[in-house]
Amino acid sequence: MLKIKKKIPLIDQHDKHYLYGGKFGGNFIPETLKKPVEDLTKLFAKLRYDKKFIQERDFYFKNYVGAPTPFVKLNHLTNHLGGAQIYAKVVSEANGGAHKIYNAVVHALICKRAGKKYIVGDTGAGYAGKMLSMAAKNLVLNVKSLWALRILYVKNQTVMLSEKMVPK
């Protein structure tokens, strides 16, 4: 079990090899991706404290995503629970209609800051790919979104598909 340390951001709670979860955690990076992942890790470590980058991120959150999205009070739930003030964040009002746009915007900004012309993402159901496409196109990046290997069960037969989706 991972012990969460106080006053240390969760993103920084890993060992020197970026492994989480002790003996049960870990990651696998193919040899051909080690250098790009190391470069990305170094860039992210620098950008996460870069005031200019944070201002740019906040600009896109406000002017493209539509942040901050509103909170609504859940009156019936508040009353049912005996007075605890319960609110919900309405992220469906964000551009694209989902919370995934925030992550996609930051990914696209990091890609742009790294001087890359393409951003590639994978998606299960397609929505993460849609958000990445929207964010990347807004930042004038080329995007390729790959649908992961899918397993479909049709009349007791397993059919494996691998599809590629390239948004226009």
Residues for the chain: how many in total?
168
**Eight-state DSSP code of residue 14:** S
pLDDT(42) > 80: yes
pLDDT, averaged across the chain: 79
Among 12-26, 106-120, 128-142, name the one with the lowest average pLDDT: 12-26
What is this structure's pTM? 0.71
Strands (E), the chain: 71-73, 87-89, 118-123, 142-147, 150-154, 157-161, 164-165
* Residue given tokens 């992210």 in the structure block: 44
- Quote the CA–CA distance of 102 and 104 in Å, as a whole number: 5
- Please report how many Cα atoms fall inside a 13 Å half-sphere around the Cα of residue 21, on the Cβ side: 4
- Please report how many Cα atoms fall inside a 13 Å half-sphere around the Cα of residue 1, on the Cβ side: 3
